[in-house]
Chain A
């Protein structure tokens, strides 16, 4: 305990590294404060420090912009995530979503790191995300960065197959009063208000509140399921920018919701978080960022389980240029969770109450090898967790920008998914004799990923292609304790697997007012039992993923007042759920009679009266066509 404590005292520590582009923003902010004279005296590197241009990033990144979100008519974060074609997104029922990258999808998909303004939102309960409580005011979102493939070295734990990074606007960019209200079918009602303003010369703030109510989905017999729900959320953000370029940010959110369920009672969810961030630029070549947050969540599912979870997380990251060729980023982090589960007759987490901590350190060096054309990035993350001790996640990447409009990149990464509570501590039923008796020997799942990508920009046309092959060891399996007796079973690492495929996107500005986007992903996941394993599922519990998906979007501005947007998607069948392939269309018409007012009508899932996106035939819910109208007033 003592060295750990020493480390804690020494620094403010980190689990998840803030995104690299935050640093770019910091240095730009510093430059913007210079006078013309000062700007002309800035020493310009002939070698660009890091591949800050998205175009040159050596990984499969897609960015969802505020304009994309607005055009899509999305009213929730998962709906907005459909815009990234390198994600597999399926709506399970009215509130649950299965979201993953590069396969391994499920309602408890566990290989994705999801961050909202630097706050990790996957739960240590099962390493997945409760999407029903991850909400933001979508009009305050600046962008969502979606990286498919391992991002563990720089981004943090759990980034085995991808990272979703939701970034909201600085309070400086959200001044004035913004009121939104509307409703229709499926989205029965949605209302929000946000107000922002200045605080003295250097600070800005905003506060917001929102609430929505959503209709239930359909059971296979055509009757309404009991899964309708409503939720309210509010929050604030303060940003200060001192004259010396120090930047301080404080934000928080609170929410409370009720969700109907088939069994008696209502699911109750509530929670809140508060985060402080500090950025200190030493120079355009070096900066320090620190952040600390608290995140508390409460979930009560009557008859199944209840949970109170407190997370304390603290991060420090420093970036500095060393010489003319090296750009070094390193950081440390500490994370403490306090998880109290209320067990039921159906299942139990044992022990019910745990406190766990994580220590992380990472370092990455981006080396400019040949002018600003060729960069090699080497880095590793070292993590210590209470389940498996030390884990090392190194990666090596190279990007070669052989012309301003063409970039080739490649990467090899090792990533691990460390155990979560569900892997080690889940028992069923809630009392002995157990047919599922935890996973006392469960270790980390490991991945070795090879990636190759290419980006090409030709005027208004931007093309990106990424391909990958990943090999997994020790994937989760269910093993008979006394074969051939079918029970009891325990959770173990009895399966291996591989995945491979490609992700392609194309964006084209046909004119200034008309842009189109296409995304296509081809994907295969194979999982098999290792010698000695009694798990013959071949991964049907671990990955529910279509082999291919296609999305097409168009956004057309007609004059100064009208915008017509459309989004088509096709997803192949999910074979191991006998879920048929489906195609759907979303559309939106927006009218802005005056600058301050926007009226819109949006249709979602227009092609069919109802369709299913996920689940075995018995458990499946059908998602209905929805139409809603919305008015937004910005004063």
Chain B
């Protein structure tokens, strides 16, 4: 019993440690992806049935693991539940509202965005220069904080409306014209 008490005393002291709010990078990115659904409007044709799930897709090697699944579990956007899909190939992407493109696909981002064309899918990635290359939202790591970079023109071209609340906290960039 003395041993138990000693262990208890030592461990209680852990409670007293000062804690700053920190979280793992992809935990926060998962929560951002979930939040985007509330700040984006898709054209009506993209969501013909109000009961259909909001589909968040992941293309390429998935760094989010269970974070995204945990984040959307039990959540709804109005009546619509969330669904996570993991895509192996571009051709697998059928119905999709938000597409997270993994860094593993960085080299062929141009090709992916070209293939998606004007389909009303919110494209998101943390790959370098994603927004400048025509992606809609880019996660930028800035001294342990996550910033957003939004290519508004790319979103408008695909008829995806991004709320001013989201635009306000983001850096707006354009695709450089040749």
Contacts and interface: CB of A to CB of B under 8 A. Distances in A.
Do the two chains belong together in a single complex? yes
Contacts, number: 180
A132 to B, nearest CB: 30
A322 B22 CA distance: 12
B20 A43 contact: yes
Interface string A35-54: 01101111111101100111
Contact of B4 (A7, A28, A321): A7
Contacts of A46: 25, 144
A246 interface: no
B27 A27 contact: yes
Given A43-B22, A363-B11, A457-B61, A53 B66 contact: yes
A36 B166 contact: yes
B73 A142 contact: yes
A25 B147 CA distance: 23
Contacts of A609: none
B145 A44 contact: yes
A617 B104 CA distance: 56
Nearest to A50: B24
Interface in A20-35: 21, 24-25, 27-28, 31-32, 34
A48 to B, nearest CB: 4
A44 B66 contact: no
Interface stretch (B29-37, B109-117, B130-138): B29-37
Contact of B86 (A40, A286, A509): A509
Given A7-B1, A43-B144, A284-B23, A55 B65 contact: yes
A285 B21 contact: yes
B108 interface: no
Interface stretch (A167-175, A431-439, A578-586): A167-175
Interface of A: 3-4, 6-7, 10-11, 21, 24-25, 27-28, 31-32, 34, 36-37, 39-46, 48-49, 52-56, 142, 169-170, 172-173, 282-286, 288, 318, 320-322, 328, 330, 332, 359, 361, 363, 382, 384, 390, 404-405, 457, 459-461, 509, 511-512, 595
B63 interface: yes
Interface string B59-78: 01111011100110110000
A53 B67 contact: yes
A31 B31 contact: yes
Contacts of A31: 23, 27-28, 31, 71
B94 to A, nearest CB: 6
B45 interface: no
B88 interface: yes
Interface of B: 1-5, 7-8, 11, 14-15, 17, 19-28, 30-32, 34-35, 39, 49, 51, 60-63, 65-67, 70-71, 73-74, 85-89, 92, 94, 104, 141, 144-148, 165-166, 169
Given A3-B1, A46-B25, A284-B21, A28 B67 contact: yes
Contacts of B26: 48
B169 A40 contact: yes
Chain A residues touching B, majority SS = mixed
Contact of B65 (A37, A41, A54, A321): A54
B27 to A, nearest CB: 6
5 contacts: A42-B145, A55-B65, A170-B73, A286-B19, A332-B4
Contacts of B1: 3-4, 7, 359, 384
A160 B31 CA distance: 36
A461 B92 CA distance: 14
A319 to B, nearest CB: 9
B144 A45 contact: yes
Contacts of A282: 19
B93 to A, nearest CB: 8
Contact of B61 (A37, A54, A404): A404
B1 to A, nearest CB: 4
A36 B145 CA distance: 12
A151 to B, nearest CB: 18
B27 A328 contact: no
A332 B85 CA distance: 39
A171 B49 CA distance: 25
Contacts of B51: 595
A379 B173 CA distance: 49
Contacts of A457: 61-62
Nearest to B89: A459
Contact of B8 (A173, A288, A322, A361): A361
B25 A404 contact: no
Max chain A C-beta neighbours (<10 A), residue from B3, B34, B62, B65: B65
Nearest to A322: B17
A42 B141 CA distance: 11
Contacts of B141: 44
Given A24-B70, A361-B4, A363-B7, A45 B30 contact: no
